[in-house]
Structure 1
Amino acid sequence: MDLQFTIKAFDTLSVSELYQLLRLRESVFIIEQNCIYQDLDNKDQKALHVIGAYNGKIVAHSRLFKAGDYFEWASIGRVVIDQEYRDRKWGYPLMEASIAGISKYFSDNKIMISAQLYLQRFYENNGFRAISDVYLEDDIPHIRMVRG
């Protein structure tokens, strides 16, 4: 069985889906990366949520924003794959689903992201290019990138 993607608005997420999304983000962005920050940033309500499920478990997630809601361009954020499944390279289909979601729901192909620096090559492989110097976000080196 492959990873199955759905895209949902915040108010259509089930309680179980929301719990799994937040738990996944916490396990990676706070615990694994040892970074204390406020994940619940009041932006989930504006975002569309790309959900990647495998055998009924949410193992991949990203948030999609229309232009002006996060950056001046449409954007993708909180891109995350469960650590247990990273060897399957599911980051690529997650980005494909996210980029397609921006196109389908926002009729846009210009995307801006704030990428963790160590993932620059991954995002370049997904059609993004760097447009900024390195900067710190929550004490983690990041770089601004665009596609389109």
Structure 2
Amino acid sequence: MSWQLKTFDELTKNQLYTIIKERINIFVVEQNCPYPELDDLDQNSFHLFLQEEGEIRAYCRILPKGLKYEEVSIGRVIVKEKYRRSGIASLLMKNAIAFVEEELKETKIKIQAQDHLRHFYQSFGFTSISEVYLEDGIPHVDMVKC
């Protein structure tokens, strides 16, 4: 497996295009949720992804502390549909958390999790810090890992 972690400026045009395409395919099309996917946070974030045979199979965005929240944040977590339930999502989160802790030297991470994935994130030490709320029509919960 070829995990890559890049800043926005390090992404190739094809990687950026493929990442955005997959995010839109999942968050906008698959989840039937029209929302502004391009939010001006990508340019200052880290992009962790698994690319095999030219396709992005898994991806997440790591936002440095102070960009969106006081804490570092992991978001836009996706796994392409045909690779779900294969363990890739767990590897993605382990790699993202390791980068935050080892490279950014941060211990507190905040996420906005879709509520149906709460138990998945709890398995990595995240705990709920909010009630369930609707974000773009989808139940979410704020969670932190300390």
When the two structures are superposed, what TM-score results if normalisation uses the length of structure 2? Answer: 0.96
Identity %: 39
Q: Report the Cα distance in structure 1 between the residues aligned to 2:92 and 2:122, rounded to whole angstroms.
A: 15
Q: Structure 1: any 5+ residue segments left out of the alignment? A: none
Q: Report the Cα distance in structure 1 between the residues aligned to 2:113 and 2:35, rounded to whole angstroms.
A: 16
Deviations 1:18-58 (A, max 9, x none): 01100110110011000000000010001000011223321
Q: Displacement, 1:102?
A: 1.1
Q: Report the Cα distance in structure 2 between the residues aligned to 1:140 and 1:105, rounded to whole angstroms.
A: 32
Supply the RMSD in Å over aligned alpha carbons.
1.0
Deviations 1:65-119 (A, max 9, x none): 1211111111100000001110312110000111112123321021010100010
AA partner of residue 123 (structure 1): Y
Counterpart in the other structure of 1:31: 29
SS in 1 for 2:17: helix
Q: Structure 2: any 5+ residue segments left out of the alignment? A: none
Runs of 4+ displaced beyond 6 Å: none
- Alignment partner of 1:48 is 2:41: no
SS in 1 for 2:111: strand
Q: Displacement, 1:139?
A: 1.1
Count of residues paired in the alignment: 146
SS in 2 for 1:122: helix
AA partner of residue 53 (structure 1): Q
Q: Report the Cα distance in structure 2 between the residues aligned to 1:141 and 1:46, rounded to whole angstroms.
A: 27
